[in-house]
Structure formats: C-alpha cells, structure tokens
A and B are shown apart, each in its own frame.
Chain A
C-alpha cells in the first residue's frame, strides 16, 4: 500500500509530514531546509507564477494590486493572494468586511468567491490546490517517492462547504484525500503518541486565520472528542490587522491607498507582533509612500488592542466546556497550538481560564502537521489500537414549513453518524419533494448556512401524504454530508442529485481538471487512468488479503467467479484501456460485496462474543 502523507493546509503557512518509523517528521524543502511553506500564491495573466517563499518575494517587489485600490481594476500583471483559507467554500456574504475589501479583483457576488485576473478566473480550491501541489512537489523531491494519498487537516469548526472545498482542492492538485482531520484533534494525536495517558484534554488552537477549541477524552489510545467550538474568522491575521490600522492612522489619509502601502504595513505589523512576544516593546520604523513612520508600542498597549479578540476565544472555550459537560477543573491538561498562541496574552488568558499552565512542548507551528502524519499511519494500519472519534461541529437540519430549521443531527454528535427522516408530498399528484439542508445553531433556516438543495423523485402521482420516502443523512468521518433516499413502498433507491449551495459541482471539477491540460501539465486522460488503476489495485489487494484471511466466509462458487474477475482485471491493469479497467473494477466490486459484508458482520459478531456467557443466556 502506498504511503499516506499528512498535510497541514494553514492560513499563513502549510506543511507536509510523514512518519519516520514511529515518529512524525516534517518534510523540509530540500534546497532551503524550510519547514513552513508560506500559503501565498502569485498569479499572473497566464496562470500561476509562484507559490510559497518565491510568491512572498514577488509580493515585496510588486507595485501591488492587493491593497484596497481607489480604482477597481488591478493595473499590475501580478496578483498575490494570501490567506486563501479564509475564502474556502464561502460566498461573498460570508466574508468579514476586511476580507471583502482585501482583493479588488475578487468577485463576491456569486455563490462562491472567485478571483478574476484579466481573462482568467480562479476559485479558492484551485488556489489552495496550488499550495498542495507545491507541498507534493517538495515531498517528492525530498523523499524520492510519489505522493498520491494524503490526510489534510481542517479547522474543527469548518462547516460542510469549507470541508468539501478542501477535498476539492486536493483533487485539483491530483491527490487522493483519504481523510480530513480536525486540526486540534490532530494536535492531540501528536501529543498523545507514545504517551498514552488517560484524561480530559483541552486543545486551544489559534492559527493565522481560524480559532478552534476542542475538548477530548483520551483513554487507552481512543481519542474521543467531547465537544468543539470555534470561529473560522479569527486568528493571528486579525492581530496583524489591528497593528496595520495603527500604522495607517499614522499616515496621511490620501497616502493610505497608495500602491505597496498595505503589503509593507502588514509585513511591519507581523514583525512587531512577533517582537512583542519576547520584548516589552517594539519599534515600528518604516517608509511608506515617501512618508517616515516611527512608532514605539509597548506590550501593554498591544495587549489592550487585542484583548477583545482573545476574550472572544475565551467565550468559545466556555461554550465547548459546557457542551462537554465539564467544568474547567475537570480538565487534566491544556495544549496550545498555532503560531498565534506565542502571544503572551493568549497563554496567560488560557492559564487563567483553566487554572493551570498550558503545555506547549511541541512546536505550535508544527504540531498539527505531525498529528496529520500520525493519523495517516493510523489509516495505514500502523498504530495498533489508536483511534480517533471526532464530532460534527455544527448542527445539521432541514428547512421545514414556515422556514423553521428542524435539527436532525445536533452539534458535537460523534461521527460517523446517520439519521433517517421520512418525507411525503403536501399536495395531490406531486411528483417531486424539495429538500433544503442547512447547518448552524439558529432557529430559522434562513439564519443558518445553506448546504445543499435536492429534489426527491420522480414520485408516482398519488394523493397528498401517501408517498413515503426515507432519506438518510450520513455524516462521514470527514464531517461531510452524504444523502441517500429510498421509496419505502417500492424499496427502490432514489438517486439524489445534491446541488451544493456554495461548493463546486462535479462538472466544475471535471472542467477544471480538463483545463489543467491547457497548462501543459499532466494529461487528463493519463490522470484518470492513474486514478482508475489505483482503484483497481486497491480492490485487488483488498480481495486477495480478505480471501486469505477469511477463507471460510467465501463460498466456493463465489470464490471461483471473483478470482476469475480479479484475473481479468489484473490482465488489463497495466494497459492503457481505462474503460475496461473501470468496468472490471466495478464487476469485481459487485461480485465481492456480499463477501465483504460477511466480513464486516463477523467483525461485529466477534466483538459481541466477548460478552460474558450469562448475558448470552439471558
């Protein structure tokens, strides 16, 4: 089985990691030795110019199309995008005013934010995909092996659309995203590895653009999330912005919108923030648009500026504790994650709230990627008893009569989880039922976030209320919603064509993958062929492993037919005929499905057999 890599796709920086024996190891740039890849992408009229450190350099050189310009068209050939994570899976309405203003070339009116640079249009998953591509290239150069499968971390508080967008980014980068893992949970894995203590742990994760708090119960290798809360628009970036505002106030009004000013001010702000973590004061001295700025800021003043931001995170911590049914004194350990936790005020407030000194023995910038690598090795079957049980961060429901949200799955429910709901028609001879799925904690569906709409049907025309359609809402281990529908009377499965309210449709992804050909990259057909081969190899190896391990569960006839199908598939596997590979893969999958189900049933039965004899007799 090919190796799975762990990726932390951060707002400010991204990393890729792998397991080196039993220890997670960050893969560094083979040329520069850098662990962090700045999540910065430079785009030109002909496509991507640079990603990471080189994009940061371009940003410095540029006459800057990024600042809030007075005119609305970017006049430069290069556009540099930072913090793309803040735009993932969101529409213009979801953005904070600062984010709306930030890129004059962003199109905010559609259901999904897009960036238009001359004739080219980019969506956030594409831009994130470029970061993933750079990480993939780094790991391939450093390790000399192909990177195909990855675990990617996401903020625990990411909604369905944001998660889906992250998965799309992986696909667009030619990666199979085996699993999305919540960042604070990943961090807890990195801390918990080789240190299998039991207890309640709070993970406080303040990154560049997002904040998460997760409360976990750890017991004999089971990492069970009890509750999570957060804010996907709150992070170290906001602290920088407070300092940018301070610098801007020192600049005459008419100069604030000059080219290059915002980028320079931001760089100075970030460096001042970092200085203030170690020193009692920082001097901000720079030249902006020919104007000299010279400010001295004490840590105390800085803390006053960011106090409200930090207070917001504390409120979220209290909410998570309440949902977990715990008091602060029940928490056995507090872990700090994310670069912004280096700000002394943050760790002080955390210590005050929980009444104990937080742990930060692992580098807060690296720990999430390390955890992603640990989860990758769990998925490769290499971590014995370790298992992660995460939760869905936000309630999921449907819009009912009067626009009320009916909650079907409550926030902080352990995933995977499913719920069945029955639908019927409201008027005679109605042939379709519309279903609107929303996510959030508000009472009215309109105040929650729209996830998807779909139509059930066609239904045979019948009097109102007679048809019975059972819809299963399943949230998988990635926190992503899947929908299936079945007609209760006929037992027929309905196909459910879910139209994501904010995500990319399947067709859009296909189109983007096709477009990639124009970039002179890997040929699409070639890529599809590789994907088909991967699927085929996976099922072949699963079948051969299972038929060896569970020979008693496969009937002789079934075995003969399945093995014949497996042979046919193996015969075409190395060829170029993708359609045959796909068709034979499906055939083998179908033939072995009953066998696979028997294995699953047996696994459950075996576990049941551990119960004591008197219980069985009961």
Chain B
C-alpha cells in the first residue's frame, strides 16, 4: 500500500528504493546522479571481474536494475509514467485522443503540415514552412506549460494531498498532454527536416 494514497504497490518495481531514495516525485537531478554513480562504483560487474560466477551474476542483475532506475527516474515524464504504474494505472496504449485544451492548436498544426506534405515544390513552400516554424514555437510553449503543470502535480503528491486534489487523474491527463505534444513536435520536425536514414 502506498502510504500517501492507500493504493496498491508492486514492491519488486520500486526503482526509488533501488537508488536509495524515498518515494518522492520531486527529484533533485544532481542528487540522483550522485547516487547512481556511487552505487555504480560499488556494484558494477567491472568491480567483480575475478569473483565467482554467482557474484558476477548478482552484480550484473543489480547494475541492470540500477541503470533502469536511473533512466526512468531521471526524466520527469518517465518518472510520472512509472508513478502511474505504481498506482496500478497507465496511459492508453494508443494515445490518439486529442486533449480538449489542445484541440485548436493541434488542428491548426496538422492542417498546415498536411499542406506542406502535399506541396511538390519545396522552394515555393518556404512561406508555409515559415508559418509552421511559428506554430512550432506555440507547441513548444504549450509543452513548457504542461511540464510546469507536471512539476506542480509532483510537488502536491509530495505534500501528501493526493486525495484532496484528485492528483492521480490530473497526473494522467498531464502526462497524456505531454505525450501528445511530444508526438506533435516530432511530426513537425520530421516535416521541416526529414531525418537521415541510419543503416
């Protein structure tokens, strides 16, 4: 049970504990890195090159868990998703539904992207690309705002106001928004600068 919200917890998934952290959503990046490096120095397989097979295996497993914990907790978005998972929730697999407050923005951007895609002559479509760049800034601003919302949500959890403030549904909605904006930004960038295929 989660001490804060009374929800179920999956103990084997506790990535906070793997890094020796209390279960708090607001994480200080330098502190996180310090712990990761510190633990890594102690348990990494390179420290046990001449140990028995069992110790090597334990070190390998421990380090794999450690790197996973660091990777998941370092990024606020993935940390939030992990928090949902801890509370038995997750984002819908197919995140196609446009969050209501983003509808107007998304509609406008998609339309312009479609137009650019259809434009045969890339040089003549330069004004269009310019307009999309301006929209990109708007999307970026919406992203910044969503990130701030996420930060506020995190802080509220840590203050223990989960029940009162409806934090779980809020967290889910904010994460959905960020996921959506992320996809949108990627679509824009792909259209503006087609990626080079890697071998």
Contact = CB atoms under 8 A, between A and B. Distances in A.
A509 interface: no
B38 A381 contact: no
Contacts of B24: 618
B21 interface: yes
Nearest to A222: B37
Interface string A103-120: 000000000000000000
Given A219-B37, A416-B63, A615-B21, A178 B198 contact: no
Interface stretch (B48-56, B92-100, B125-133, B172-180): B48-56
Contact of B199 (A179, A231, A378): A231
Contacts of A611: 20-22, 35
B67 A607 contact: no
Given A414-B67, A416-B63, A542-B51, A608 B20 contact: yes
Interface stretch (B39-47, B79-87, B106-114): B39-47
Given A231-B199, A474-B64, A542 B58 contact: no
A562 to B, nearest CB: 11
B76 interface: no
Given A415-B67, A416-B67, 19 more contacts: A379-B46, A387-B37, A387-B46, A389-B40, A389-B44, A416-B60, A417-B68, A441-B198, A474-B64, A542-B52, A589-B54, A596-B54, A599-B55, A604-B42, A604-B43, A607-B35, A607-B42, A608-B20, A616-B22
B46 A179 contact: yes
Which bucket holds chain A's interface residue count? 35 or more
Nearest to B37: A222
A401 interface: no
B59 interface: yes
Ranked nearest first, the 3 interchain pairs of A and B with the lowest CB-CB distance are A608-B20, A600-B58, A593-B54
A277 interface: no
Interface of B: 17, 20-24, 33, 35, 37-47, 49-55, 58-64, 67-68, 70-71, 196, 198-199
Interface of A: 1, 4, 178-179, 219-220, 222, 229, 231, 315, 319, 375, 378-381, 385, 387-389, 413-418, 441, 474, 476-477, 538-539, 541-543, 546, 589, 592-593, 596-597, 599-600, 603-604, 606-608, 610-611, 615-616, 618
Contacts of A413: 67, 71
A347 B38 CA distance: 37
A600 B43 contact: yes
Contacts of A474: 60, 64
B120 to A, nearest CB: 26
B54 A477 contact: no
19 contacts: A222-B37, A222-B40, A381-B47, A387-B46, A413-B67, A416-B67, A477-B44, A477-B46, A477-B63, A539-B52, A589-B53, A592-B54, A600-B43, A603-B42, A604-B42, A608-B20, A615-B21, A615-B22, A618-B22
A381 to B, nearest CB: 7
Contact of A600 (B33, B55, B196): B55
B36 to A, nearest CB: 9
Contact of B38 (A179, A378, A607): A607
A596 B55 contact: yes
Contacts of A179: 46, 49
Contact of B42 (A375, A379, A606): A606
A418 B52 contact: no
A476 B58 contact: no
Nearest to A590: B54
A315 B196 contact: yes
A1 B49 CA distance: 11
A222 B22 CA distance: 25
A1 to B, nearest CB: 5
B52 A543 contact: yes
Contacts of B40: 222, 387, 389
A416 B64 contact: yes
Contacts of B61: 418
B69 to A, nearest CB: 11
B38 A596 contact: no
B97 to A, nearest CB: 23
B71 A220 contact: no
